[in-house]
Amino acid sequence: MATEPITVSIRREVDPDRIAEATVWVQTGVNLANRYPGFLGSGWVRAGEDSDVWHMLYRFANEETLEAWERSPERSWWLEMGRGFVRAEKAKRRTGIEGWFDDPATGSVPAVADDPGSADGALPPAPPRWKQAVSIWLGFFPVNLAFSLLIALAPWWEDVPLVLRVLVTTLVLTPIMTYWVLPRVTRMLRGWLVPSRAG
């Protein structure tokens, strides 16, 4: 097994009508990967202001830590979220620091292969949507309950209009869920979330 750093270079074609969503999606993936041991950094650029081609790089300390991320339920969940606007992708792996400076991969292949076992570096299967929903609920319910109980102690909270209360709640809880709660919940439920590869 390789012990030197590994860089993954990815070329993705994104629906040009959903650039804002894609930008948030990419950053969410970076935030999730950043919590994994061995993550050394990442970067992404668009080919041009009007281009639908995005070049992305991320780097892990070795093959073992890279595979832990690539097989994680967090990454599967994240990739599933991008299916609506990532139209095609191609990835290459390189070892050593030179991987950061090579030209990104060119050409494109379908983002989801018909036969997951046939493509080099095929993506792991995403957990079923109902399992994703259960995982999100398991994290969101206690966090929302705790926040609601704490904020209710403020005597002025009941006087705040409903729209502002929902706005404040979502602004506070969304980053908590994204950065802390969801990664921990999915890690704890890893064996249940990831479909069995047996057979």
- What are the backbone dihedrals phi and psi of residue 42, each rounded to the nearest 5 degrees, phi first? -160, 170
- What pLDDT does 142 receive? 92
Cβ neighbour number for residue 101 with a 10 Å cutoff: 9
* pLDDT (tens digit per residue) in 84-109: 777 776 777 765 434 433 444 433 33
- What are the backbone dihedrals phi and psi of residue 43, each rounded to the nearest 5 degrees, phi first? -165, 160
Token pair recorded at residue 99: 């991987």
How is 157-189 classified by DSSP, letter by letter? Answer: GGGS-HHHHHHHHHHHHHHHIIIIIHHHHHHHT
- pTM to 2 decimal places: 0.47
pLDDT beneath 50: ranges in the chain: 1-2, 96-124, 197-199
Integer angstrom CA distances of residue 61 from 37, 65, 68, 95: 8, 7, 11, 10
Do strands 109-110 and 39-46 pair parallel, antiparallel, or not at all (unpaired)? unpaired
- What pLDDT does 1 receive? 43
Please name the residues in contact with 150: beta carbons below 8 A apart, sequence gap of 6 or more.
none
Q: Write the single-letter amino acid at 32.
A: L
